[in-house]
Structure 1
Amino acid sequence: MSGPHDFDFFHGEWEVRHRRRTDFLDPDSGWEEFWATSRCWSLFDGAANIDELDVPSQGWKGLTLRLYDRETEQWSLNWSSSRSGRLFPPVTGRFEGERGEFHGDDTHDGKEVRVRFVWSGISDITARWEQAFSVDGGETWVTNWVMDFGRASGTPAP
């Protein structure tokens, strides 16, 4: 069951290996790889958090605000990039065991897309995030961005 401390594992500092498709909607497009750092801190006694992602090789930063809705027992994940300075439409969902799945609707290159975020591989020193888009209402998905997180110091956050 999902709860207000689902993202406690994510607090602290991380090194992040990104793999991102060159075309988010084309399953045959190539991948680009780059590194970043991330720092996450807790708010609302665990029921919210913010992380900032610094990607110097790409010249941008990103920010995620996560909020736990106690009534629906779901999280909303709200992303922004320094490139646009706007919030993208949120994805909502929950954790079932060790896996979190979150869905929402957005547009990409002028096309309506269903968005899926998946959190998995969670431990004290690792985590994995994946983004996939669907242009057919969730029948098929193209995974287009993967981030593998490792503790910057190799040890868990205090």
Structure 2
Amino acid sequence: MSSPHDFDFFHGDWEVRHRRRTDFLDPGSDWEEFPATSRCWPLFDGAANVDEIDMPHLRSKGVTLRLFDHESGLWSLNWASSRSGRLFPPVAGAFTGGRGEFYGDDTHDGKDVRVRFVWSGISDATARWEQAFSPDGGETWLTNWVMEFTRATTEPAAGPVASGTPAG
């Protein structure tokens, strides 16, 4: 059963390796790869979070708002892109055995699609997200985007602030 702390692993800074199809609905399309960075922070004592991902290769950023519904026990994942400035239809789901599956309905290139997000490979230092589309209501799925997350290493501060010195 899911809990309000399922996404606690994701809080903090990440380096991201993207691999996505050049055509989300064509199983024969090429894959492109590119790096990105992501930062996630908690809200509502862990029952919500926000992350922003910076994808210079695509000249865009994205933001996801995740909300845990205490009544249903499900998470909703709500994505927006800096390219469009609009919120896409949410996906909803839960974690079972360390794997999260989330489903929703959307359109892509004018076609109705069922959308699936899967979170797996979760540890303190890694996580994997993948997106798949189904043009036939969930009978078949085509994975079209994979993100491999690795915990970002941060440089130590330049040095301690001297006692009594304002920190700016």
Q: Which residue of 2 aligns with 1:101?
A: 101
Segments of 4+ moved more than 3 angstroms: none
Q: Distance in 2 between matches of 1:97 and 1:6?
A: 11
Q: Distance in 1 between matches of 2:27 and 2:64?
A: 26
Deviations 1:9-47 (A, max 9, x none): 000000000001000001111100000000000000000
Q: Percent identity?
A: 79
> Given the two structures, how large is their TM-score scaled by the length of structure 2?
0.91
Q: Which residue of 1 aligns with 2:29?
A: 29
**Aligned AA (1:24):** F
**Aligned AA (2:112):** E
**Aligned AA (2:32):** E
Higher-Rg structure is 2
Find out whether 1:42 has 2:42 as its counterpart.
Answer: yes
**Aligned AA (1:53):** I
CA-CA distance at 1:97 after TM superposition: 1.4
Q: Which residue of 2 aligns with 1:131?
A: 131
Q: Distance in 1 between matches of 2:65 and 2:125?
A: 21
CA-CA distance at 1:57 after TM superposition: 2.1
Q: Which residue of 1 aligns with 2:118?
A: 118
Q: Distance in 1 between matches of 2:45 and 2:6?
A: 12
Q: Distance in 1 between matches of 2:57 and 2:95?
A: 32
Which one scores higher on RCO, CA 8 angstroms, separation ≥ 6? 1
Where does the alignment leave 5 or more consecutive residues of structure 2 unmatched?
A: 155-168
* Count of aligned residue pairs for this structure pair: 154
Deviations 1:35-77 (A, max 9, x none): 0000000000000000000011221000000000000000000
**5 Å matches for 1:73-92?**
73-92=73-92
Q: Distance in 2 between matches of 1:131 and 1:58?
A: 17
Give the secondary structure class of the aligned counterpart of 1:15.
strand
Where does the alignment leave 5 or more consecutive residues of structure 1 unmatched?
A: none
**Aligned AA (2:18):** H
Deviations 1:66-92 (A, max 9, x none): 000000000000000000000000000
Q: Distance in 2 between matches of 1:61 and 1:137?
A: 29
> Given the two structures, how large is their TM-score scaled by the length of structure 1?
0.96
Q: Distance in 1 between matches of 2:132 and 2:57?
A: 23
